[in-house]
Every structure is written in structure tokens, then in C-alpha cells.
Chains A and B, each alone.
Chain A
Amino acid sequence: MRGAGALLAAALLWSSPPAPAHHAPNSYLRLDFRADSVLARMMIPRSELAFAMGDAPTEAALPGYLLKHIAAATPHGAAWAVKVSSVHATNYLEQPYFTAELELLPPLGASPRNFTLTADAVTHEVRNHVVVVVVEHDAADAAPSSRAHVLGALQYPARSLVIDRRRPSPAL
């Protein structure tokens, strides 16, 4: 009984193709721990970014915007240098995303494995949005795993995550 007769009604009502996914998309901040820096690959859904930026986001506008919303600092509060290496449009789960690559450089003498990461490019505005912080690779892992894992998640009002990987990574 279920489903019968729905086709005609639906076809009459709607002609747009269906979207494949069904959730407000999250951001992903994928970290690659290197010997003296951290490479951060930020994946931000365009739809949610538009709410946060208050305008249609563009590749050209994104580097400057991200530098205001992504930061790292030593445990004592000294700021790391942050550089946006690239920004490009992409798709994830068939939704439009931007992927930005950022290099995070600690001050001279500071550990690149112990810092406070701040990321609120969307979450400062979109209350349900979550930034999933992921370790994608760590050069210090004795036995690197191909399986990335989640370090934490940021949702308003949380905007910062303390990261301390000075000890060897646990087995993944």
C-alpha cells in the first residue's frame, strides 16, 4: 500500500532533481603534523560559509577571511604564523565546499605539537555548525596509520581546541 500512487502526485508537484544528502553540512579541519609546522586542510561548506560571511563566498575573498578566523597560539598565548597556501572550490558529499590549505608555523623555539587551535569561520555565526578537527597524518607516529582520527569538534560557543601531541601518539 505504501508508495502506491505517490509517483504521479510527486511528479506533478516537483520537477527538480533530488539532492543526495540531507543534513546541514559540517566543516572539517584536517591536520598534518610535520617536523616543524602543521599543515591544515580546511574544508568548509559553501552554503554555511555564505551565512557566516554575509555574502556569497568567493575563492578570492577566502584567504583574507580565513586569516581572521583560523589561528594557533602557544600555551602561553604567543601567536603562530598562519599562511593560506591555496583555496579551491570542491565538492564533498555532492555539496559545494571550499578547501583551503593553511600552513601553521610556531614561534621560534615553540613546540609544533602543543598549541591552541582556533577555528570559527562558520561557527561564530551558524549555531548548529560543527568543525570536526581531524589528525590526518603525523610525521612523529612510529607506525603511521592510514586511518585518520578525530581530535575533537568545535560548536558555538566553543571556538578553540587545545592540542598536545608531545607524547607519542596512541595506536590508532
Chain B
Amino acid sequence: MKATLTLGCLLLAAPLGAMAATAADCASAGGGEIKPVLAAVSALHDVLTPPQRALMERPLTRESAIQWSNLPVALVPRAGLRLGDLDPKQDAAAQKVFAAALSACGLKLLEEVRTADDFLKPLDKDSIGWDGGNYYLSVLGQPSPRTPWMLQVGGHHIAYNLVFNGQQAGATPMFFGTEPLRFEYQGVTHEPMDAQGSAMRKLAAAIAVHEKAKLSGTFTDVVKGVQMKRVPGARFPGGGTDIGFPLTYPNGTEDRGILYPALDAEQRALVRAALRSYASLPGSAISRPLISAYESDAALRDTYVGYSGATTLDARGSYVRIDGQRIWMEFVVQPAVANPAEIHYHALWRDKLADYGGEVGH
């Protein structure tokens, strides 16, 4: 925890707004390499009690894998090891797992989003679970240098689903959000999604000169997120996890935005910066092949970018999307929950081929 906060503070020492994530910016923390991740998971296992191990270690099945959400934990309970229940030694071991698996940006995002939930905790009058301790860690499958397994980290506004040794490099589905957008906590100013917000804002403003980039309809949340499917009757509806997986996506050429090849060089660079602001969150061993696939000439020829609402991303319903052969990245502006006069962000990264590393549901 302390190390993570220190890292966050160091990054925040840079002028806010100048933190657009690039692969280089993010490379300074964990590399996502299998050996250090395995070592960190093993070390964590060693300091847990048997009941805690039972909570953390779950089977790599579709049922387990889809248990992520963008809803607070009282609405959609999470499985796994609750980080708020760890003692200092266990917490330090868990932080080493995150540090090994995530890039500096991914680690900072996790820590700042949890801090945002801590910030909201005093406002949680209805006990919906705003609390930085209400984030969970699971290991799905047997950690191995060769066979598939998955590291799942999540809570209210984070869902990291990292698959190792999968059929595909697997960093998705990845959901992240923040409320508030910017806040001060213990003397430090936090803006968890500054990099992604800034990248998507620049992209939306740049592509708005193209009429075709404007998407029809209204967006009040991400389109390919979790689904609430059960019937009314309970206090809260069931579902709220990725029960719709595998998903279908728009096809054809209409209403998907403007194609990458129709953009000028500057606009193209903004597309790549925006996709990297998401794709650089896992360690580089995980993100590198994904970025390479998304930025290949063939993939970019078939990549659309679109927006809806305000390109300044300061109004409810503002929305930006990157939609390619594999890539699906959404950014949406919602009203804040704690204070409906404010706004908050949701972001989703899915891979049409490689969600869950291709290991479940296809």
C-alpha cells in the first residue's frame, strides 16, 4: 500500500493534464512477465490463511470469469479475497502481485480508483459499498508457467481480468471508472482517469470535424458492459455481471464512426494515443502483443472511431468509441451518483477475439 501510494504521488507530481499515457510512460512498473507474477502470487499464497486461500483460488470457468461488474459491491457482490481484510503483511504481498502484473499506469489507476471509493465512503448512506477496501483479488485456475490461468482484480470501479498462457494475450474485459473525477485526499490531488479522459477528449475534438464520426443515438453508459437481466422483485436486480458474454458487435460500415484511413496524420496519432491509454494498463508483456495487433496496418484499416454528445466530455451522455477488428474501447460520461450535479466516467476495453484470453465461452 505505502509503496503504491508513493508511486501514485510521484506520478501526480507531474502537472495534471500532462499525463497522457503512452507505452513508455507506463513501462516503469510491473512488466506482466509470467515469472515475477507467479512468484508474487506464490508469495501471497504463503502468507494467507487456508480460508483466505479458498476465497482467492477459484476455478477458471466461464461462471467464475464473468464475475466482474461496474456496480458497487452491495449491489453486485464480488467473489475472491477482499483486500480490506488483509493484514499489513498480506496487503504488501497483494500489492506485489499488482505491481508485477500491471504497468505503472495500471497500478496507479487501481490505487487511485480505490482511493476515490475511500473518498466516497462517508457519503455511502445507503450502504452500497463505496470503500477502497471493497476490492477483491482472485486467481482463477492453477497458477502455472505454461497452462492458462487468470488474475482477476476488481471492485466498484475496476475490473482487471488478466489471463496468462491463454490462447490469446488476455487483458480484457477491462472496466474502469472514477467518481469523483478529481479530488484531494490526504493532501494529494488525484485524477484517476486523467490520462484516458485527456486522450479521449482530444480524439473526440479532432474527429468531430468529420460528419461521419458522429454516432447516432444516446449513450448513458457503456454499451458492452455488464448486464442486469433478472426480474424485478428483489431490492436490487440480479445479474450485473458479464452474463451476456460472448457478445455480438456492430458490423457493416454504417453508424460506427469514421474509418482510421480517412483521418489525417495528427488524428491518427490521437487514435493510437487513446487506445494506448487503455491498452498500456496491464504489464507490457501482456499489452505489447495486443497493441501490436490493434495497430497493425490491417487492423487500423478496419478501425472506426466515433463520438456522441459533447466532445469536451464534460456533459452527461458524452461518448467516444474505438471499434476495430478486435478492439472495442468505450468512454462515457455519466452523472455522478454521490452528487448528481457532477459527472463521472466509465470506460470499457473489450477484445472481440481475446476476452478472457479466449479461454472461456467461445
A contacts, CB < 8 Å to B: 1-7, 9-11, 13-14, 16-24, 26, 28, 30, 43, 47-48, 51-52, 92-93, 125-130, 132, 134, 136, 148-150, 153, 155-157
Contacts and interface: CB of A to CB of B under 8 A. Distances in A.
A96 B246 CA distance: 31
Contact of B236 (A1, A3, A93): A93
Contacts of A92: 232
B218 interface: yes
Interface hub of B120, B215, B218 (most chain A Cβ within 10 A): B218
Interface in B70-118: 70-72, 75, 84, 114-115, 118
A125 B317 CA distance: 12
Interface stretch (B21-29, B56-64, B180-188): B180-188
Interface in B215-230: 215, 217-223, 225, 227-230
Interface of B: 1, 70-72, 75, 84, 114-115, 118-126, 128, 131-133, 156, 180, 183-186, 215, 217-223, 225, 227-233, 235-237, 240, 244, 250, 317, 332, 334, 337-342
A132 B228 contact: yes
Contacts of B231: 28, 30, 132, 134, 136, 148-150
Contact of A93 (B230, B237, B341): B237
A10 B128 contact: no
A117 to B, nearest CB: 16
A3 B341 contact: no
B219 A6 contact: no
Nearest to A92: B232
Contacts of A149: 231
A2 B250 CA distance: 42
B124 A24 contact: no
Nearest to B156: A22
Contacts, number: 135
Interface hub of A4, A30, A128, A156 (most chain B Cβ within 10 A): A128
Contacts of B342: 14
Q: Which 8 A-B pairs have the closest CB atoms?
A: A24-B221, A20-B126, A24-B220, A7-B122, A51-B218, A148-B231, A14-B339, A127-B217
A128 B119 CA distance: 28
B220 A28 contact: no
Contact of A14 (B118, B233, B332, B338): B338
Contact of A150 (B115, B119, B229, B334): B229
7 contacts: A18-B124, A19-B338, A20-B128, A51-B317, A125-B218, A128-B221, A153-B227
Contacts of B334: 24
B232 A30 contact: yes
Given A18-B338, A127-B223, A150-B231, A23 B71 contact: yes
A11 B125 CA distance: 13
Contacts of B124: 18
A60 to B, nearest CB: 23
Given A6-B121, A28-B231, A16 B341 contact: yes
Contacts of B227: 130, 153
B70 A10 contact: no
B220 A22 contact: no
